[in-house]
Structure 1
């Protein structure tokens, strides 16, 4: 059976258009059904959050309210140890938590239990100073991941940070960015489908003209 000219291009066009339409449909539904936060890209500076974030890494900041802050979040906050400036740190404890460390301990103690911190630069150094704090209401306890080369709430002169000073949560891939990328990919696929459709039409027209010319010559 003779294949129609441009058939493969037509099949490719159909597949690409279907994939593009699906991507646009899914991302549009997500955009409508799920409230997506705005985000701002920025660069991380310094080594205090290594190995999670390195100097110069691209990061994204999502606005967050004080009541949304959770243990383990990496946040941007106004901190007392950098007067008038903001710092990226990790929330290690929240209001009501009792957190402590004694030199020689293998881990911080959070509410009488050892705290698992897989993100640390050096798991053998959960803190460089001893401390024992019950986090006051309306505050969070912030520490960096590179405990040997940073400051934080563990130092007596710093202490817990007011939760209202936390302005953003640091995220690797903001949902709003993923949706935008999905929509862009879907639109791109539809454009490619249109180009394939035109190319398939051109191939068929040329084949038809060639066949007509051959018939006339014979």
Structure 2
């Protein structure tokens, strides 16, 4: 009996430590997952189109778009037929969007790019330049990958129609987005009504296991 009594404080101590550790790991996710406007159903990234911002397997809880809708530069989840996809908003209704040599122009003004290193564009590990760019009105730069010269690096100027968005993947040479029509497995001009939520934090990353609360607006290292 005395032997059992000696183990009671030890057991309670270990239980308290395990509980505290669990809370320490889960708190960053819970703090975001249950804040105002958060959608409670978790989603995950199945493709490489948003590298380096989002990695395959990243889990996230979208936030409701609110009455103002998405802003230029934000990452959103949207509906495409029966699928859900993720992309970055490049152009809003009324914007003119074009690409020349991989450089985005918005309303006739090229968006500067700066190389900050190298990354991998796909699972086989194909090298790609990691670049920074910042759209007009965007709070801070975002990172993209540019692998090589491709036909989609050039895109004639189009004006985004009322009630629509122009979206692109950050993995520019590995993304079927608004540069491609839907009949060619792209997105075309995305109706704003198909935008489902904004992606502003990552609850769990397969690329960084054990690290919670990874803001996607970071500058990738």
> TM > 0.5 between the two?
yes
C-alpha contact 2:103 2:153 (8 A) present in aligned 1? no
User: What residue is the counterpart of 2:96 in the other structure?
Assistant: 98
Shift of 1:64: 1.4
Picking from 150, 160, 164, the partner of 1:139 is: 164
TM-score by length of 2: 0.55
User: What residue is the counterpart of 1:208 in the other structure?
Assistant: none
User: What residue is the counterpart of 1:128 in the other structure?
Assistant: 153
* Structure number with bigger Rg: 1
User: What residue is the counterpart of 2:197 in the other structure?
Assistant: 168
Instruction: Write out aligned runs for 1:63-142 (5 A).
Output: 63-65=64-66, 67-79=68-80, 83-102=81-100, 105=101, 107-116=103-112, 117=133, 118-122=142-146, 127-142=152-167
Structure 1, unpaired ranges of 5+:
1-30, 175-218
User: What secondary structure is seen at the aligned counterpart in 2 of 1:159?
Assistant: coil
Q: Which has the higher contact order (CA 8 A, sep 6+)?
A: 1
Aligned length: 137
User: What secondary structure is seen at the aligned counterpart in 2 of 1:120?
Assistant: strand
Q: Distance in 2 between matches of 1:106 and 1:121?
A: 10
User: What secondary structure is seen at the aligned counterpart in 2 of 1:164?
Assistant: helix
Query: Comparing 86-95 with 156-165, which one deviates more in the overlay?
Result: 156-165
Q: Larger helix proportion, structure 1 or 2?
A: 1
User: What secondary structure is seen at the aligned counterpart in 1 of 2:61?
Assistant: strand
C-alpha contact 1:131 1:154 (8 A) present in aligned 2? no
Shift of 1:128: 3.5
User: What secondary structure is seen at the aligned counterpart in 2 of 1:171?
Assistant: coil
CA RMSD across the alignment: 2.7
Q: Larger strand proportion, structure 1 or 2?
A: 2
Structure 2, unpaired ranges of 5+:
1-30, 113-132, 134-141, 204-221
